[in-house]
Structure 1
Amino acid sequence: MVTAVTFPTIALSETGFARADDKENSIIIEVEGNPYERKKEIETYHPFVEVVQVYDTILTGLALKGDLDKLQDIKTKSFVKKTYPVRNYQVNSRDEDNINKSIPFIKKQAKGVLPGDQNYTGKGVKVGIIDTGIDYTHPDLQKNYKGGYDLVDLDDDPMETLPEQGSPTLHGTHVAGIIGANGKMKGVAPEADLYSYRALGPGGMGTSIQVIAAIEKAVKDGMDIINLSLGNTVNGPDWPTSIAVNRAVDHGVSVVIANGNAGPDQWTVGSPATATKVISVGASTPPITIPYLDDSFTNKKIPLTPLMGSVPWQFEKDQPIVYGGIGAKPLTDARNKIVLYKRGEIPFAEKARRAQQAGAAGVIIFNNEKGPLQGSVADGKAAVTIPVVSVTKRDGEWILDNMVNKNNWLDTSYTTVKDKMAQFSSRGPVTVNWRIKPEIVAPGAAILSTVPDGYRELQGTSMAAPHVAGALALVKEAHPDWSPQKLKGALLTTALPLEEKEGQLYDPIEQGMGRMQPARAIETSTILYQPLISLGNVTKLQDTKTYAFKVENLSNKKKEFYFDMPKQKQGMRWVLPQSITVPPGDKKTIEVKLTVDSNRMEEGIHQGWLTLKERDKTYQLPYLFLIKGGDYPKAMGFDFSLEALSDDMYQYSLYLPEGAEKVTVDLYDPQTFQYKRTLLEMDDQQVGLIEGTMEERKVGKGGQYLAVVSITTSNDKTYTYPSNIVIEQ
């Protein structure tokens, strides 16, 4: 089960359930035994229930349609392990005109550098898009759309959710355009075959089981590549969707997954991007112009972050500024001025409209807490036609003190940047196995692509992942016999490590191997397999960690590889091979060792880069290890909801990266924080997913609550994690 998600522009949820007033329902059930035998049994003894799909590859189960009372009879059968709802979803999307700059940017990198004329277009490569559906009537997608399946309505029409069906969606169409648009706009692989698997319904919501069923359908339909621009908040390698995508790779399918939009904090990558065999993608910037507020007297320069859905900030002259508080009061002196708002209470779009109605030229919103502020002014209501940007709390307070209160005017300057990490891009590592994620990055900021009835800019790792999926299609066309492991290795080996500032690379958990370069991947004569060096958790005073990876020589000449000795760091001693000779067409295993004296090092994440060289080529290999685990979350993904097809039984789930001596869930009033009651108490819980059910009489009164999950670990430390839940009755 998956809780509400903070990823890209998409979320998974299992808070939806079939209501008693819905006559016909659709559900997916997991079954014990042979699913085809179960299908025959249902068709024989339950003739009014339709079996619309059988799952036997990634999932063992059936998709069913029928009246509620008939489906409730099925649920009581002994062979039914679980039932999952596929209706009633919640909205949880975050969206934001010029020609898309990201695709030509990533495709031109090797022009004039590498031999040959690369005209690969992804022709003949099948790409499955597991998302909100695709508007296959869009003129830029009609040529390449080849079919798919709808796991929400359980039919062969995976169209986006239309307004008359609920909260409309556009996300899957945007993803599809990045991968393979072939019209006015050209995607990364404009001749790839596009297939849509609609796993997320109205508002971009769905369940883990729908996603798993979509993965299975895509695998059985023979996809070469699957793109999932979706995820959840659970940072663990063994969540059900993570296991499912690994199995898809085992079946010979390359799987590309968005890393998440919960950055810049560590430990924010969520499942299924936490899976070990997939390609997890973070977001970097294509060439974009960033506006700054300048004050020449104090040499102050404040970066402005456009809110999604905003028109560009394009002021050439100094601008007067007024303060609008949180936006609760009417503006009386805002005409042709910039309005400065503080975040709080009033939605961003509503603040902007109030300024717009008062004749303001633009809006700046500053955060009310530490860190960057991201948001949207696209709320489906009246359009905001003035530019709206955000700044940090510190910068906003500086503007209030030095500009507004002193009647100074604002001047704007502009800087063009590229290959910088997006603040929103989720960071690793993964709990439990301590893997480095993301593994690669691609443009994900201000990406223009197809949407129903036109084009729109969106941003997120949701937009970065399809750049990689499209690039994989190009490499697959060039090398049709390459395995998913080899395709992934080619992209990782040839990635460009990005610099935060001159001479200093971004950390491994921010960028993995760096920004992809598909043209170089196509031409590479060297492939490194699993080159992200994850050395694990050091719990002893002194410990030696070993990591092995493979290098393949695709050329017809032998290759020599060697390491530059890294700079000595306190508490660390590397043992690296002096040289490695790889014959033509052969593979060799490279082993590196690190001895750690944890007594001389701080607890937490330690990361950096090893330099591997091959004649005139250099490969930067990221490494990571932890001292005594570090400050990672000890509980994630708490979910509590009515069980599917039930009015009196509740289900709950929780993920524990290291287990717990005791787990307690207490309920509080979300407004007054008054303690109400204890919902759950559990002892001696193991690592991984905890699931269970509760009867309504034990749950107590329904309503909205602040649920505080308390975790007591084996060393008697206690950690608390709040989340909002709704108990429906």
Structure 2
Amino acid sequence: MKRNFSRVLFSILALVLIFSAFSYNPANATANESPRLQELDIAELFGEIETSSDRPTSVIVELEEESIVEANHKGKKQSKANLNKERGKVISELKKQVKTADVNREYDYVFSGFSVELPGNEIIKLLAVPGVKAVYPNVHYTADVISKEEISAEEFSPEMMKSAPFIGANEAWEAGFTGEGVTVAVIDTGVDYTHPDLAHAFGDYKGYDFVDDDNDPMEGPTQYHGTHVSGTVAANGAIKGVAPEANLLGYRVLGPNGGTTEDVVAGIELAVQDGADVMNLSLGNSLNNPDWATSIALDWAMAEGVVAVTSNGNAGPNNWTVGSPGTSREAISVGATQLPYNEYTVELAPSEGVEYPTAKVMGFPSDEELLALNGVEYEFVYVGLGAEADFEGKDLEGKIALISRGGFAFVDKAANAKAAGAVGAIIFNNVAGEHADVPGMAIPTIKTELADGQKLLAELEAGNNTVSFDIEFDKAVGETMADFSSRGPVTLSWMIKPDVSAPGVNIVSTFPNGTYAALQGTSMASPHVAGVAALLLEKNPGWATENVKAALMNTAVDVIDPGTGEAYAHNTQGAGSVRVMDALNTENLVVPGSYSFGKFVKEKGKQVEKQHFEIKNLSNERKTYNFDVEFDGNPEGVKVSTSKNLKVGAGKSQKVNLNVQVDTSKLEPGYYEATITVSDGSQIIEVPSILFVGEPDYPRVTGAFMEKANEDSYYVGAYLPGGAEVLAYDLYVFDEETGGIGAPIDTIGVFEDAPLPYHEFVWDGKVRTEGNTREELPNGDWVLAVYVEEAGVTEYKAYLVTKE
């Protein structure tokens, strides 16, 4: 139902900016003439930045003058001196227009531009400065993990590092490929280069710290992410990374509270200039958009010969959840899998005559710890949502924590229970239905639906505070996609993402101060692929980045969904899970490794879209290739034509045309997956492909935020992949008991024609009361709900925010 808004606020940037083109002379005008008006040519602004406030706003400026790498790849001459001169002209003109503009970082190698802080209401002047091509918000990046568990020296065993052998890294080492001579840049939170498993990989020059602006990329005292990532790439001690003899460089672009675009782009630039062969970026945000400053820098880094690998994000399992820089057109984006595991059934027995039919095993750190719960009677203690404060004053030592869903991540609830001494947990749903399995929980965790959770609470109320478990082996499960792994496609480019997948659940690697930890997230999957890229470049030092990417994608294996017995969708797993030896030994490459034919929106008649790919014969024999294209379900209305019996000489390559004809009148709107099969008679390569019929069903909003601007104002905003014809922000009470949405408070902002992919405004922190007065909203947790209308679709999503 369409909402009616009584208060509509228009952004200055949503209006057409018109200026008089000449001086009007009434003497030369007829009675019916009016002054001629002309639109001013201004740069493109990506997203909507609040321009009605004078608060300092940081943005990234892209110049029309091309970067060194972009110009060189277009056959043009470009130099640092020329870029410095042209950039200087723009900065000089900007400072004439905006006296308070403060330029921070300047870029020239893979991105041409600079970062600058200036009042929001003067950004319009920046857009009008000659030489400015585009302006991007300086967005926030994080290095989130799904869970963290430090491993004591007593508990640690090198056998815990199972993921590298699983993808075949140990076989590569035996074949003589260890990453020797290849340099991998870890663009992250820094790295503890003194760790005994990592020290071998660093020389005198170790990288750069863009957080503290010095030559020491040592990880901060409360940080660990970059050290863990580095170990997965190149540890060589008690544990071995995928490429144990590779060289490492560390670039600290994320502090304890994350980082921003300006430092991430600076890290990419310096890594390329420092001679990195591979770079890993296990970081991201929720912006599903390919045309972003970071993605542009990565695309040109790939063009310059540096293999860029990035995590796909931890916002799964729904489609369209991939975020920048995983949205990059050229960089290799990586989803997370879970290694094979055993599945168990469970029965609970708190008291005679009470049954809990919805009890299931949710997640556990090891089979041994899960089965250790059998045959023992435990006390269980209710701890609400399972926050740290909920455990205060309660004795959980050797007991079971009973926890309600809501408020924050399941893995954090389990970690808090373990920290309080609990040996297990039961998490019950706070709404009807079943909640997700979460592999790799810090302690054995059982889940139940709401009704069974209420039974447990009733048992406690009746004085029955003990529980026992009957846990039995059910079946073995192969490699699976992690629920948290973000899915594609990418908006605007409509590309499949991730490109490939790799282990990312319970990954044991290096931790600061010479220790080890098990972490999970796509941040842990990405460095596996960066390590494999290093092995490929050791064997093939002259390979272009597109060859490395194709080898990884062409030889990946399908990950099978145990629930269906079928391979996961392309937008879930990409081309599949990487396999080292297959990639090293491939004799054929299909470039690129996946396709999107884009949108088919012609209402009558047939629409044809063309693609081409390149077959590279790496062998020393002439080969004949055959092709087959199959769309899932063989839908009527789609026809594909391509070559047959294509002959390619030894060491040669040839382009192959592929045409897709779609009659949309015979197809339901939606997206259709296809697999292009390429065979030389011995090796089969499967290339993922998709096309869209009608307007893609991308989410209209993918995130929201509330941040303090100054003493009496806040930045409030949302991520809008397709923009919004109508946009509204509503505040609700956060129900701490259920972790859900409470009573409505007020609508704090209403807008029209908000551009993609980013919108923000300044809020004064006040809400309207029942007496129709405006009062300050108290600090604390609240629910920010975002309503969007765009392209005939309405969407309403809620996010937990904190007002400080």
Same fold (TM over 0.5): yes
Counterpart-to-counterpart distance in 2, 1:435 and 1:651:
32
Structure 2 distance, partners of 1:523, 1:102, is: 20
Partner residue in 1 for 2:752: 682
Moved more, 233-242 or 287-296: 287-296
The corresponding residue for 1:227 is: 280
CA positional deviation for 1:229: 0.6
SS at match of 1:591: strand
Q: Are residues 1:452 and 2:516 paired?
A: no
In the superposition, the TM-score normalised over structure 1's length comes to 0.78
Equivalence for 2:566: 504
Mapping 1:532-571, distance limit 5 Å: 532-541=594-603, 542-564=606-628, 566=630, 568-571=634-637
Q: Offset of 1:665 from its aligned partner?
A: 3.4
Question: How many angstroms does 1:88 deviate by?
Answer: 13
Equivalent position SS for 2:259: coil
Does residue 480 in structure 1 map to residue 541 in structure 2?
yes
Correspondence for 1:95: 148
Report % sequence identity. 34
- 243, 261, 275: which is aligned to 1:208? 261
**Equivalent residue runs for 1:168-207 within 5 Å:** 168-203=222-257, 205-207=258-260
C-alpha distance in 1 between matches for 2:412 and 2:498:
35
Structure 2 CA distance, aligned partners of 1:681 and 1:524?
Answer: 54
Residue 521 of structure 1: CA displacement? Answer: 1.6
Q: Deviations over 1:380-403 (max 9, x none)?
A: xxxxxxx342436389669969x9
1:286 aligns with 2:363: no
- For the residues of structure 2 that align with 1:353 and 1:508, how far apart are their CA atoms? 33
Tell whether the 8 Å contact from 1:316 to 1:412 is kept in structure 2 after alignment: no
Partners of 1:261 and 1:461 within 8 A in 2: yes
2:404 aligns with 342
Superposed counterparts of 1:110-121, under 5 Å: 118-121=175-178
Structure 2 unaligned blocks of 5 or more: 1-48, 66-82, 150-155, 350-354, 385-389, 736-741, 768-773
SS of 1:227's partner is strand
Say whether residues 1:238 and 2:308 are aligned partners: no
Q: Cα gap change, 1:524/1:708 in structure 2, threshold over 3 Å: closer, same or farther?
A: same
Residues 475 and 487 of structure 1 are in contact (CA less than 8 Å); yes or no, is this contact kept in structure 2?
yes
Matching residue's letter, 1:446: N
- 2: distance between equivalents of 1:435 and 1:344? 33
Residue number among 302, 305, 308 corresponding to 1:249 in the alignment? 302
Aligned residue for 1:382? none
391, 395, 409: which one pairs with 2:447? 391
Q: Do the aligned partners of residues 54 and 428 (structure 1) sit closer, same or farther apart at CA in structure 2, a change above 3 Å counting?
A: closer
Deviates more, 1:413-422 or 1:147-156: 413-422
- The answer on 1:153 being equivalent to 2:190 is no
Question: Is the Cα contact below 8 Å between 1:141 and 1:181 reproduced in 2?
Answer: yes
Residue 140 of structure 1 deviates from its aligned partner by: 0.8
Partner of 2:107: 55
Contact kept, 8 Å, 1:28 with 1:61, in 2: the verdict is: no
Measured in 1, the distance between the counterparts of 2:416 and 2:535 equals 48
1:711 aligns with 2:763: no
Matched with 1:383 is: none
Separation in structure 1 between the aligned mates of residue 565 and residue 144 of structure 2, nearest angstrom: 43
Between the aligned partners of 1:706 and 1:694, the Cα distance in structure 2 is: 17
1:468 maps to which of 529, 534, 541: 529
Partner AA of 1:138 in structure 2: H
Output the CA distance in 1 between the equivalents of 2:695 and 2:706. 29
* CA distance in structure 1 between the partners assigned to 2:137 and 2:677 by the alignment: 48
What CA distance in whole angstroms lies between the structure 2 residues aligned with 1:533 and 1:87? 30
Residue 233 of structure 1 contacts residue 269 of structure 1 at CA under 8 Å; is this kept in 2?
yes
Please tell me the residue identity of whatever aligns with 1:631.
D
Amino acid at match of 1:181: A
CA contact (8 A) 1:30 1:59 kept: no
Query: How far apart are 1:242 and its partner, in Å?
Result: 2.0
Distance 1:183 1:273, change over 3 A: same
Of stretches 127-136 and 364-373 in structure 1, the one that deviates more from structure 2 is 364-373
Distance 2:430 2:699 in 1: 24
> Does the 8 A contact of 1:331 with 1:358 survive in 2?
no
Q: Partners of 1:120 and 1:597 in 2: how far apart? A: 50
Decide which structure has the larger Cα Rg and report it: 2
Structure 1, 125-134 or 326-335: larger mean CA deviation: 326-335
Alpha carbons of structure 1 residues 727 and 637: separation in structure 2 relative to 1, 3 Å: same
Secondary structure of the residue that 2:167 maps to in structure 1? helix
What is the one-letter code of the residue matched to 2:252? R
What per-residue deviation string (whole Å, max 9, x for no partner) do you get for residues 276-311 of structure 1? 101111112234455543699999994431379x99
Cα distance in structure 2, aligned partners of 1:483 and 1:215: 18
Partner of 2:311: 258
- TM-score normalized by structure 2? 0.72
Cα pair 2:733 2:745 within 8 Å, conserved = yes
Q: Aligned partners of 2:409, 2:167: CA distance in 1, in Å?
A: 36
Do residues 636 (structure 1) and 698 (structure 2) align?
Answer: no
**Structure 2 residue 492 is the aligned partner of structure 1 residue 424:** no
Contact 1:372 1:392 (8 Å CA) reproduced: no
Residues 719, 199 of structure 1: CA spacing in aligned structure 2 closer, same or farther, 3 A cutoff? same
Q: Which runs of 5+ in 1 are unaligned?
A: 1-13, 163-167, 379-386
* RMSD after superposition: 4.8
User: Secondary structure of the residue that 1:368 maps to in structure 2?
Assistant: coil
Q: How does 1:322-401 map to 2 (within 5 A)?
A: 324-327=381-384, 338=400, 340-344=402-406, 361-369=423-431, 370-372=434-436, 374=438, 387-391=443-447, 393=449
8 Å contact 1:239–1:689 — kept in the other structure?
A: no
What secondary structure, in the 3-state scheme, does the structure 1 residue paired with 2:691 have?
Answer: strand
- The match for 1:412 is 472
Cα distance in 2 for residues equivalent to 1:615 and 1:621 = 16
Q: Secondary structure at the match of 2:481?
A: coil
Q: CA deviation at 1:239?
A: 2.8
Q: Aligned equivalents of 2:397 and 2:758: distance in 1?
A: 56
The Cα shift of 1:172 comes to: 0.4
Q: 1:481 to 1:329 in 2, by over 3 A?
A: closer
8 A Cα contact 2:228 2:511, kept in partner: yes
Partners of 1:200 and 1:172 lie apart in 2 by 9
Rate the CA distance shift 1:690–1:35 in 2: closer, same or farther, 3 A. farther
SS at match of 2:480: coil
How far apart, in 1, do the equivalents of 2:337 and 2:142 lie? 31
Compared CA separation, residues 240 and 640, structure 1 to 2 (3 A): farther
**Whole-Å Cα distance in 2 between the matches of residues 298 and 94 of structure 1?**
28
Query: 1:357 and 1:181 mapped to 2: Cα distance?
Result: 28
TM superposition shift of 1:650 = 6.7
Instruction: Report SS of the residue matched to 1:457.
Output: strand
Shift, 1:77, TM fit: 11
Distance 2:364 2:600 in 1: 42
Q: 1:171 Cα deviation (Å)?
A: 0.6
Counterparts of 1:56 and 1:492 in 2: how far apart (Å)? 31
2:358, 2:448 within 8 Å by CA — same for their partners in 1?
no
Alignment match, 2:181: 124
Q: Aligned equivalents of 1:329 and 1:193: distance in 2?
A: 45
Distance in 1, matches of 2:142 and 2:536, equals: 37
Kindly tell me: are residues 319 and 610 of structure 1, through their superposed partners in 2, closer, same or farther at Cα, counting changes over 3 Å? farther
CA distance in 2, matches of 1:533, 1:655: 26
User: Which residue of the other structure, out of 701, 723, 726, is the alignment partner of 1:662?
Assistant: 726
Q: Secondary structure at the match of 2:314?
A: coil
